[in-house]
Structure 1
């Protein structure tokens, strides 16, 4: 599931890129790709609103490229993955000061700046995932459930109590409906961003869990 979605996302990034951004995306981005696989995908489960090597205005009237930008109203998030060598050990005083001033100006321009060390992305991915989840829970409010049917509201209530993925069979037993109809309700709730796939085998979703924003906000 991750690999297929990642390839689709990357194609879309290339299609909307300037030549310099495309060149950067084509370079080896080991730390950045590891962040997507270890942290972003397990925490968020999708790539919507996420942009790699995003081009932003520089405080010196030039351009700089952010490792990732997550742009979803009303916020702009800059996400940087920092290796110890290029960002600390190998930086001289001028580079160090310039890096801090660049970050300050991003904040002035309305960006929320988030930094992860490569070591944490590699060795402590769950800690990084939890930070992303907590941040999203703080920034983005829960979508109102007024678009849900009574059956879907019951599914939502059940899954908040269950606190683990549910299968269409679980929901069919809960509502006393066919498994096919239960799956239809669950798919609609994914489209409404109340749920997201939790287990996928043979390109078929076998279980669903609360969408990250729904689960955190309740």
Structure 2
């Protein structure tokens, strides 16, 4: 199956799930360019499917609000948050409050049992094979050897 067909089927399934208003809004806007590039350049070549992967995954935050993970892969024994970070959005244009808030968000994810993999947009576009290998290595560590293959 081509990436485009697999991606469209996966996205249609995502939209068909019961979603919060925030998730509906974020998915209706469509994936950002960086998130789609991650799927096309990294995830799909690594696994050839999107099973278990959720876009714009909503989590409760420590301030009784909602936050969204770019992607979540949830399968026992892991909860993996995947974040795609552009330089301008996450560092270049961030003010001090945004910088601190982003670090605190990640700390709370870790406390709540999430594993986090972050990929820069530059790595996705310039070094996709390195990113793919890192993701496969992670999955092999947590899901390989009889633990429940991907």
TM-score normalised by length of structure 1: 0.64
Q: RMSD of the alignment, in Å?
A: 1.4
Matches of 1:96 and 1:19 in 2, distance apart? 26
- Structure number with the bigger relative contact order (C-alpha 8 A, sep ≥ 6) is 2
Residue 26 (structure 1) aligned with residue 53 (structure 2)? no
* Secondary structure in structure 1 of the residue aligned to 2:34: helix
Count of matched residue positions in the alignment of Structure 1 and Structure 2: 146
* Partner of residue 48, structure 2: 45
* Partner of residue 8, structure 2: 7
Matches of 1:20 and 1:62 in 2, distance apart? 11
Residue 132 (structure 1) aligned with residue 135 (structure 2)? yes
Unpaired runs of 5+ in structure 2? none
* Partner of residue 163, structure 1: none
Structure 1 residue 18: deviation in Å? 2.2
Structure 1 residue 25: deviation in Å? 1.3
TM-score normalised by length of structure 2: 0.92
Unpaired runs of 5+ in structure 1? 145-192, 194-212, 214-218
Matches of 1:125 and 1:107 in 2, distance apart? 26
Q: Which has the higher Rg, Structure 1 or Structure 2?
A: 1
Matches of 1:26 and 1:32 in 2, distance apart? 14
